[in-house]
Amino acid sequence: MKGFFEKDFLLISHRGASRYEPENTLRSFRRAIEMGSGVIELDVRRTLDGHLVVIHDRTVNRTTDGKGAVSGKTLSELRSLDAGKGERIPTLEEVMGNFSGQCGFVIELKEKGTEKQTVSLIKAHGLIKDVVVVSFLKDCLREVKTLCPDVITGLITVFGIGCVRSALLLGCRVVATNHHFMTRRLVSDAQRNGLLVCCWTVNDTKRGEKLAAIGVNGVITDKPDLLRA
């Protein structure tokens, strides 16, 4: 059987099946896998008491019934919040513990200071071949590569300008750009330089098919059924 990242085209579930379930929850990741998604994407931040949790925003305001910065709350304070449909904000360890062996993971580091624990968890769960660590933050990607050169990393950008050069300098294998700015030229430039190209966040089937036709290696979508609709 092929590894999670060896498919011809990757359909990556953005914050899980986030169109259908509360984003970045175990329920959302489970649903994505049930829908046939081979890879889930998730966002990592650090709590006041130093745990890694899976949540997109800097604050809990949008996705939970609480208020305030993630970095200003302890894990137990965060766990008392409802992240939707009674779900709790998961820890990164919990997500790995629940789903390793069932999918690949695109782990987005949203802030500095998350690198060391993320790499330790990847190693502890035997997931080096099953993860790509991505970030908008170049320092995070540099640090991850320093800590563990074997982990595949990916640079996220919005516009794509200069991203091939930056990704190569950072030792990345992947570039992920907003799909509005993806071009055939960028795809071929990246791939000629040995990079894989992904786009975010693609929720329209025709758009997904068009991107596949210009040769992107994968799309990040809220809808794991995007290309089956």
Catalytic residues: 14, 56
In angstroms, what is the minimal distance from the CB of 43 to Ca ion? Answer: 5
* Interacting residues toward Ca ion by CB under 5 A: 43, 108
Our finding on whether 21 is near ligand G3P (CB under 6 A) is no
Our finding on whether 200 is near ligand G3P (CB under 6 A) is yes
17 in Cβ contact with 28 (< 8 Å): yes
**How far is it, in rounded angstroms, from Cα 181 to Cα 178?**
6
Q: Which of 220, 221, 223, 226 binds ligand G3P (CB under 6 A)?
A: 220
Our finding on whether 43 is near ligand G3P (CB under 6 A) is yes
In angstroms, what is the minimal distance from the CB of 158 to Ca ion? Answer: 12
Query: Cα 146 vs. chain centroid, distance in angstroms?
Result: 20
Kindly state the tokens that stand for 152.
Answer: 């595949």
Pick what 176 binds: Ca ion, ligand G3P, none; C-beta below 5 to 8 Å, kind-dependent: ligand G3P
In angstroms, what is the minimal distance from the CB of 7 to ligand G3P? Answer: 18
Please report, in angstroms and rounded to a whole number, the separation of the first and last CA atoms in the chain.
26
Interface map 175-194 toward ligand G3P (x if CB under 6 A): -x------------------
What amino acid is encoded at 198 in this protein? Answer: C
CA distances 215 to 95, 140, 190, Å, are 31, 28, 11
Our finding on whether 115 is near ligand G3P (CB under 6 A) is no
Single out the residue of 4, 63, 74, 75 nearest to residue 33, CA to CA.
Answer: 4
Kindly state the tokens that stand for 184.
Answer: 């055939």
- By CB under 6 A, how many residues form the interface with ligand G3P? 11
In angstroms, what is the minimal distance from the CB of 41 to ligand G3P? Answer: 5
Q: Which of 108, 130, 143, 222 binds ligand G3P (CB under 6 A)?
A: 108
Cβ closest to ligand G3P, residue 152 vs residue 176? 176
Our finding on whether 137 is near ligand G3P (CB under 6 A) is no
CA distances 42 to 129, 156, 162, 188, Å, are 17, 13, 25, 27
Give the H/E segment covering residue 174: strand 174-178
Cβ closest to ligand G3P, residue 134 vs residue 148? 134
**How far is it, in rounded angstroms, from Cα 118 to Cα 142?**
14
Which residues have C-beta within 8 Å of that of residue 35, sequence separation ≥ 6? 13, 17, 224, 225
Task: Enumerate residues 47-86 that contact ligand G3P by CB under 6 A.
Answer: 56
Our finding on whether 23 is near ligand G3P (CB under 6 A) is no
What does the binding site for ligand G3P look like in residue numbers (CB under 6 A)? 14, 41, 43, 56, 108, 134, 156, 176, 200-201, 220
